[in-house]
């Protein structure tokens, strides 16, 4: 997979004094009064640097509130004038880019529904080309790190060097308290590929309801994410979109006040202890891999033996016995049943694959002879 890209450090173009970046504002701009009142209240919270508002809303069905359009951009200019906050808007079409830039929007973002489609992303990237405007890229609806990465690369390829990734969770069909499952492993994977791209978390769209926002925002900081984007409305109960997940500016201030920022590293005793625990982990991982390697060698031997004796690879009875036995041992050792099942399945799949390869190799040899 592709490696890191050259972008400007966040602190160089959007300084937050080393603190997490906080972006807040309503899901949608609804009226001049709603926007200005919300913005004035948000502007009293020093941590908030950027005001967000959706001007064009991607709605599932026609006839729902689809945003106020260009008029809202004029209100946002007023927000900037009155509060000094920077402004951020979602762009889903080249025409949106043109209008947002005409009205001096400071930061553009690509929404989750746009990022799923590389054609749309490319069209937007082409419209942005030649402008010095920061761009935030939300993750796509589906948990596909490559689509997210690809969208960031398309924006980067047209010369944008002020880029932020936004993690807003993923569509997930199993039951979950979240509107969009956080699947933290995906933003962590993105971070490991694009080391220099800051990632901020969107607890509002992950949670879908305000009660869950605090722990998700805290988790973001605990995972060393670079900031938060949170939906805030002066009267969330009457919001035209995403009413259940928005909070008042006062609630936002309380939420931010309760966040604990943990230190990235501790004193020397802490470091030494951590180092010695990590050394132990390194040693155990080495042993685990050696044991797995040995197990696979024996699997190969079994494969050959089965082939020589014309016995089928998959022996369901044996496999069911293994699962029963290993689950019992593993759970007694304090390992979770779900984890054990997943682990045993991965090992079994690899074992079957190796035996299949051995069968195929032996068949090929036979036909050559």
Contact residues: ligand PEP, CB under 6 A: 27, 54, 58, 111-113, 138, 168, 205
Residue (54 or 72) nearer to ligand PEP, CB: 54
Tokens of 224: 């060393």
27 binds Mn ion (CB under 5 A): yes
Residue (67 or 303) nearer to Mn ion, CB: 67
Residue (138 or 162) nearer to ligand PEP, CB: 138
d(CA 316, CA 311): 13
Residue 131: φ, ψ to 5°: -105, 145
Least separation, in Å, of the C-beta of 309 and ligand PEP?
A: 57
Residue 140: φ, ψ to 5°: -70, 165
HSE at residue 281, side-chain half, CA atoms within 13 A, is: 6
Least separation, in Å, of the C-beta of 54 and ligand PEP?
A: 5
Least separation, in Å, of the C-beta of 57 and Mn ion?
A: 8
Spell out the residues 6+ positions from residue 327 whose beta carbon is closer than 8 angstroms to its own: 337, 340, 341, 344
Least separation, in Å, of the C-beta of 83 and Mn ion?
A: 21
CB 167 within 8 A of CB 200: yes
Tokens of 331: 């759970």
202 binds Mn ion (CB under 5 A): no
Residue (27 or 97) nearer to Mn ion, CB: 27
30 binds Mn ion (CB under 5 A): no
Give the count of residues interacting with Mn ion (CB under 5 A): 2
Residue (160 or 207) nearer to Mn ion, CB: 207
Tokens of 346: 């991965």
CB 166 within 8 A of CB 17: no
Tokens of 340: 């054990």
Residue (54 or 134) nearer to ligand PEP, CB: 54
CB-closest chain residue to Mn ion = 27
Question: In this chain, which stretch among 162-170, 234-242, 253-261, 281-289 interacts with Mn ion, using CB under 5 A?
Answer: 234-242
Q: Kindly state the helix (H) or strand (E) to which residue 71 belongs, with its residue range.
A: helix 70-83
Q: Kindly state the helix (H) or strand (E) to which residue 138 belongs, with its residue range.
A: strand 135-138
Kindly tell me which residue out of 41, 226, 242, 253 binds Mn ion, with binding defined by CB under 5 A: 242
Nearest to 201 by CA among 255, 128, 244, 254: 255
Least separation, in Å, of the C-beta of 133 and Mn ion?
A: 22
Least separation, in Å, of the C-beta of 37 and ligand PEP?
A: 19
Least separation, in Å, of the C-beta of 261 and Mn ion?
A: 26
d(CA 42, CA 309): 75
Residue (64 or 132) nearer to ligand PEP, CB: 64
- Residues within the interface to Mn ion (CB under 5 A): 27, 242
């Amino acid at each position: 997979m592709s490696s890191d890209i050259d972008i400007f450090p966040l602190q160089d173009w959007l300084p937050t004094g080393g603190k997490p970046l906080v972006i807040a504002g309503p899901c949608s701009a609804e009226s001049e009064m709603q926007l200005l009142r919300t913005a004035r209240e948000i502007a009293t919270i020093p941590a908030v640097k950027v005001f967000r508002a959706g001007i064009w809303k991607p709605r599932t069905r026609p006839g729902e509130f689809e945003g106020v359009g260009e008029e809202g951009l004029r209100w946002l200019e007023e927000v900037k004038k009155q509060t000094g906050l920077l402004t951020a808007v979602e762009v889903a079409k080249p025409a949106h880019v043109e209008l947002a830039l005409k009205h001096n929007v400071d930061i553009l973002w690509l929404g989750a529904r746009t990022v799923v489609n590389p054609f749309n992303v490319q069209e937007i990237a082409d419209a942005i080309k030649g402008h010095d405007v920061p761009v935030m890229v939300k993750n796509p609806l589906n948990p596909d790190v490559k689509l997210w990465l690809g969208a960031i690369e398309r924006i980067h390829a047209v010369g944008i060097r002020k880029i932020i990734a936004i993690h807003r969770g993923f569509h997930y069909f199993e039951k979950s308290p979240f509107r969009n499952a956080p699947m933290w492993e995906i933003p962590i994977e993105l971070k490991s590929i694009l080391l220099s791209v800051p990632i901020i978390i969107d607890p509002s769209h992950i949670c879908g309801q305000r009660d869950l926002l605090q722990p998700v925002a805290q988790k973001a900081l605990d995972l060393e994410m670079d900031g938060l984007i949170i939906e805030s409305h002066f009267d969330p109960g009457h919001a035209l979109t995403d009413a259940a997940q928005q909070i008042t500016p006062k609630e936002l201030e309380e939420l931010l006040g309760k966040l604990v920022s943990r230190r990235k590293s501790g004193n020397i005793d802490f470091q030494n202890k951590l180092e010695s625990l990590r050394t132990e982990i390194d040693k155990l991982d080495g042993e685990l891999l050696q044991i797995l390697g040995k197990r696979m060698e024996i699997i190969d031997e079994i494969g050959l033996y089965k082939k020589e004796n014309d016995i089928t690879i998959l022996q369901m009875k044996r496999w069911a016995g293994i699962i029963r036995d290993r689950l019992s041992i593993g759970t007694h050792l304090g390992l979770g049943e779900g984890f054990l099942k997943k682990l045993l399945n991965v090992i079994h799949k690899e074992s079957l694959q190796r035996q299949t390869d051995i069968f195929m190799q032996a068949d090929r040899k036979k036909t050559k002879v």
